Amino acid sequence: MDRLRSALLLAVLLWSFAPLTGAQPAAAAPQNALAGEVLIRLAPGLQLSPAGRVTGPQTAAMGALLREAGAVAASSLGAGSDTYLVRVSPRADLGALLARLNATPGVRYAQPNHIYSEMRSTSDPILRQQWALRNIQAAEAWDITTGGEVVIAILDTGVSASHPDLSGKVLPGYNFFRNNGDSSDDNGHGTYTAGVAAAESDNSEGIAGICWGCKVLPVKVLGPRGQGDDASVAQGIRWAVDQGARILNLSLGSPEESEVLRDAVRYAYERNVLLVAASGNGQAEGNVANFPAAYPEVLAVSATDGSDVTTGFTTTGSYVDIAAPGVGVWSTVWDSQQGDTYTGSNGTSAAAPYVAGAAALVLSLRPELSNAQLAEALMRSADDKGAPGRDSEYGAGRLNVLRAVQLASDPNQTFQPSPQSPAPAPAGGAAQFFVPVPAPNDGSVFFPETGHTLRGEFLDYWRRHGGLLIFGLPISEPFLERSDDGREYTVQYFERHRFELHPENQPPYNVLLSRIGPQALGQSGRDWFAFPKGSPSSGCVFFAETGHNLCEPFLSYWRANGLEFDGRRGKTQAESLALFGLPLSEPQLETLSDGQTYVVQWFERGRFEDHGPSGVLLGLLSAEITRQQGLRP
Amino acid sequence: MPALPTEWLIYTNQSYLFTVRYPNTYVLLEPANPADPLQAARVFQARFQDQQIASGPLAAMEPARFQIDVFDNSSGRDLAQWLDDHAITGQRADASVGGQAGLRVTLMTMQAPNLFYYVARGAYVYRLTPLGPLGEQMLASFGFV
């Protein structure tokens, strides 16, 4: 065990000191960024001098790293800002430098200094009439991404593959109305919704779609006059999922609930597919809920007008998740008289594909996001309209494509599902999140020893409260897991702990540590209540709450470590208690998984092990638990 | 936000013999909607629009908050037959329109409007298209004179 731990430590240290120049950079070079410049946000109490020297406690590692990178100047981004533009050697390997800075204590984050240019405009002649693009800040978003080849399935009346603004983007589809492979459009509605989401753009033709790079999968579930049924829509959903579409747009609906449709929606949701649906146009008709939009697995979209007011027709209700423009929306269309042409139209039919297109842009930047996280990214970045917070007219607010892609391109952002959305249950269960992943090039910290990444609030917490020695290496990616209280949380497993994200709490309690001690004991059939109790002893601290002593050498270790509450040197009892919790046993002899016998003591959040000359070490409880659960080899 | 009505007004059409109440925040617009497949059969149209929307920059694109179309049925066809003749599909359900038996027609696609009420009377077929939040009240107030 000692050997393994030492090997892991050595591997981390070796990685930490990867050269800043050389043939094998630790991370990919940042794209579209200025050479010789990085932006660094420092932890409280640290500063950078104009000469690029860092000052403050425990800055030796950062100082050495900056010197190695040839830092010659630093300037803060405004008076009092803790973020600095740092000029380093133009020959510095920025990818490696950023990866190492992001793993260095005192650095909240480090990122490239991206190049911006004039806001992207397009040559599409109808662009001027596409007022909605201004409201949702699409053009600004296209400066960040115009989208990769994400597949958006259009479940509708078919799509005209011959339309000049869609040509080359339409994949072979299926016709569930006629049960054949002819997915062409005999109504116009499907070509319309496809164009809003993904029309070819900047091609001197017609309109601009939201996701320029996306592919359209036509799934004809409605007939020539817009009619369809549960069977065709349900089959279409399942087929689109099986074809690999990550996003489904359903600008259709019915006030009737349907078990068949619900099953199909669940089929898609459980396979990590985002379903986007029109909330309905039934405000004049009692404002009754519309399906599939009203199913909790579906991102329901209401419609807004040019003033960002929900339209008079849009169906509203607690199931509405987000709003998007739905009046006078220009798009591609197929018409029985004119063939492939363009039209302006109205409805939540128009609003939903704006959201589907925006989701595809986000997914282009963050393909690892789950469907729930994708929905959360769109809702969190929406412009709050109407009543403050979530409301039944706008849901989380009116879509803002720029803010959505900004959120997605920020490596420090983490996501959890909205309370309205159930947790995904992907095929393979939680074990898939323990499978090593390739090194990302998004600025997050990658641990090659385990093949897992750390970013955002978990990274911040890991660094601030003990890092490798206390928590160990990450052994999973973040994912959603049902906790003891029955709710779903974003969690990540480390060798010694399990982090659980609680953004509703102020730091340091925005991340909660599991009571991993009792869990590990319980997994091996033991109950800490059954351990022999202790009594107050000289030189020890007695905890009456559990009836156990804390004595040397564990007492010194307990006192030397803890969460960081006050930024002061040393740990208070409260800080140590917050990290380890109360002792659950007296010191006792146990033979551990390496076959060696040690003096150990159990705590609520850990197991202290006396390794003699190597000192006190924390047991790798989380690693042991997840291995026993079969989540990892 | 659209203004709330302080008063309800009465619109009466002596040519086609119907009446409807509308809020004082709405205005009556000129006929429009040339894309309507029933354009050729139409003999009259009344479009009611929220006056704030009617004066806004997207007025021409905004669908009317309530619309009444009157179509020729001088051949005296049964309502369902008349709809079939004019290739009007969608889900049909019985509905009372102006105190008479009519049909409610809905489409699954969510372009606006996708909900219509039809009733046949005399030499005409009437189509009512409620779209705004006051649509239900206007629909209920519709009657024949």
pLDDT digits (tens, 9 = 90+) for B40-97: 899 999 999 999 888 887 787 888 999 999 999 999 999 999 999 998 988 899 999 9
**Tokens linked to A126:** 């109808």
> What confidence score (pLDDT) does residue A45 get?
86
**B63: closest chain A residue by CA:** A346
> What confidence score (pLDDT) does residue A628 get?
87
**Tokens linked to A338:** 């004119």
Lowest mean pLDDT among A30-44, A386-400, A411-425, A453-467: A411-425
Share the mean pLDDT of chain A.
86
Beta strands in A168-222 (DSSP E): 174-175, 215-220
> What confidence score (pLDDT) does residue A484 get?
66
CA distance B142 to chain A (A): 14
State pLDDT tens for residues A25-58.
Answer: 345 667 667 888 889 989 888 999 988 899 888 8
Name, of A406-410, A452-456, A554-558, the range with top average pLDDT: A554-558
State pLDDT tens for residues A318-334.
Answer: 999 999 999 989 999 99
State pLDDT tens for residues A473-489.
Answer: 999 998 888 776 666 77
pLDDT bucket at A7, cuts 50 / 70 / 90: very low
Q: Is the dihedral of CA A459, A461, A467, A468 positive or negative?
A: negative
B20 touches chain A (CB under 8 A): no
- Rounded distance between C-alpha atoms, residue A117 and residue A311, angstroms: 35
The answer to whether the Cβ–Cβ distance between B135 and A285 falls below 8 Å is: yes
CA distance A153 to chain B (A): 16
Tell which residue, A622, A510, A490, A617, has the closest CA to residue A563: A510
The answer to whether the beta carbons of residues A312 and B133 sit under 8 Å apart is: yes
The answer to whether the Cβ–Cβ distance between B114 and A328 falls below 8 Å is: no
The answer to whether the Cβ–Cβ distance between B65 and A312 falls below 8 Å is: yes
B110 touches chain A (CB under 8 A): yes
The answer to whether the beta carbons of residues A359 and A371 sit under 8 Å apart is: no
Residue B125 reports pLDDT greater than 70: yes
> What confidence score (pLDDT) does residue A381 get?
95
**A291: closest chain B residue by CA:** B108
- Rounded distance between C-alpha atoms, residue B13 and residue A605, angstroms: 79
Residue B36 reports pLDDT greater than 80: no
Write the residue in B50, B61, B89 that is nearest to A227 by C-beta. Answer: B89
- The residues of A whose Cβ lies within 8 A of any Cβ of B are 131, 156-157, 187, 189, 192, 222-223, 225-228, 251-254, 278, 280-286, 290, 303, 305-307, 309, 311-313, 326-328, 343-350, 352
Residue A15 reports pLDDT greater than 60: no
The answer to whether the beta carbons of residues B58 and A328 sit under 8 Å apart is: yes
DSSP letter for each residue of A148-172: -S-EEEEEES---TT-TTTTTTBPP
> What confidence score (pLDDT) does residue A154 get?
97
Residue A18 reports pLDDT greater than 70: no
> Which residues, 6+ apart, have CB-to-CB distance to B35 below 8 Å?
A343
B28 touches chain A (CB under 8 A): no
pLDDT bucket at A162, cuts 50 / 70 / 90: very high
The answer to whether the Cβ–Cβ distance between A286 and B61 falls below 8 Å is: no
* Strand A511-513 with A541-543, pairing: unpaired
Phi, psi values for residue A206, rounded to 5°: 60, -120
The answer to whether the Cβ–Cβ distance between B111 and A346 falls below 8 Å is: yes
> What confidence score (pLDDT) does residue A443 get?
65
Which residues from A are below 8 Å from B112, CB to CB?
A: 281, 303, 311, 313, 326, 345-349
Phi, psi values for residue A308, rounded to 5°: 65, 25
Which residues from B are below 8 Å from A312, CB to CB?
A: 2, 50, 53, 65, 131-133, 135
What letter does residue A354 receive in the DSSP assignment? H
> Which residues, 6+ apart, have CB-to-CB distance to A458 below 8 Å?
A414, A478, A492, A499, A501, A511
Burial class of residue A406, CB neighbours in 10 A (0-12, 13-18, 19+): middle
The answer to whether the Cβ–Cβ distance between B111 and A350 falls below 8 Å is: yes
Residues 39-78 of chain B with CB under 8 A from chain A are 50, 53, 56-58, 60-63, 65-66
Best probe of the A interface among B111, B134, B138, B139, by most A CBs < 10 A, is B111
Neighbours of A324 (CB within 10 A): 33
Write the residue in B50, B56, B115 that is nearest to A306 by C-beta. Answer: B56
**B135: closest chain A residue by CA:** A284
The answer to whether the Cβ–Cβ distance between B133 and A347 falls below 8 Å is: no
The two most distant CA atoms of chain B are separated, in Å, by: 45
**A301: closest chain B residue by CA:** B110
Which residues from A are below 8 Å from B90, CB to CB?
A: 225-227
Which residues from A are below 8 Å from B66, CB to CB?
A: 284
Residue A5 reports pLDDT greater than 50: no
The answer to whether the Cβ–Cβ distance between B108 and A226 falls below 8 Å is: yes
Residue A357 reports pLDDT greater than 50: yes
State pLDDT tens for residues A65-108.
Answer: 999 999 888 888 877 778 888 999 888 888 889 888 988 888 88
- Rounded distance between C-alpha atoms, residue A251 and residue A279, angstroms: 8
Name, of A10-14, A597-601, B132-136, the range with top average pLDDT: A597-601
> What confidence score (pLDDT) does residue B55 get?
87
The answer to whether the Cβ–Cβ distance between A281 and B110 falls below 8 Å is: yes
- Rounded distance between C-alpha atoms, residue A543 and residue A471, angstroms: 24
Residue A19 reports pLDDT greater than 80: no
Tell which residue, A137, A121, A141, A134, has the closest CA to residue A201: A121
> What confidence score (pLDDT) does residue A21 get?
42
B143 touches chain A (CB under 8 A): no
Q: Is the dihedral of CA A594, A596, A598, A600 positive or negative?
A: positive
> What confidence score (pLDDT) does residue A27 get?
55
Which residues from B are below 8 Å from A348, CB to CB?
A: 110, 112
> What confidence score (pLDDT) does residue A116 get?
58
Local structure of A133: helix, strand or coil: helix
CA distance B32 to chain A (A): 14
Phi, psi values for residue A303, rounded to 5°: -115, 140
Lowest mean pLDDT among A299-303, A338-342, A499-503: A499-503
- Rounded distance between C-alpha atoms, residue A13 and residue A9, angstroms: 6
Supply the ipTM of this predicted assembly: 0.85
Mean pLDDT of A211-218: 95
- Which residues of A are tagged catalytic? 156, 189, 349
> What confidence score (pLDDT) does residue A172 get?
95
Best probe of the B interface among A129, A191, A283, by most B CBs < 10 A, is A283
pTM of the model as a whole = 0.60
Residue A121 reports pLDDT greater than 90: no
